[in-house]
Amino acid sequence: MERQSDETTKEKARRSKEILPNLFLKKCKVRKVDFSGPEEFFDKTLLDYTAKTWEQWLGPLVPELPPFELVIDNLEQKFFDLFKYTK
């Protein structure tokens, strides 16, 4: 039973990787928002500000707050993986 559930989870993840970028791009088009790629989510100015305020704003809310760099690096990798087949 666990194997079947594990395969279902992998299949859902695969489908999400196919569906989510296209839905996002359709929403951008409907809202008339230009989107050239996931690098737009990682603006240097915003990242610098977020890094400086990471502990101040999230520290009180997240008991074991991971380091900013770890979160951003993982998030960036996931976003680029997610959008790599949409161009």
Q: How far apart are CA 61 and CA 56, in angstroms?
A: 10
List, in sequence order, the alpha helices (H) in the chain: 2-30, 44-58, 68-83
- Please name the residue that has the structure tokens 């395969």: 7
pLDDT per position as a tens digit, 65-77: 999 999 999 999 9
- What rounded mean pLDDT belongs to the chain? 88
pLDDT at residue 11 tops 90: no
DSSP 8-state secondary structure symbol assigned to residue 66: P
Radius of gyration of the chain (CA): 17
Q: How far apart are CA 60 and CA 9, in angstroms?
A: 33
Q: Are 37 and 87 in contact (CB under 8 A)?
A: yes
Where do the structural domains in the chain lie, given as residue ranges? 2-83
pLDDT per position as a tens digit, 13-24: 777 777 888 899
Proportion of the chain above pLDDT 90, given as a percent: 56
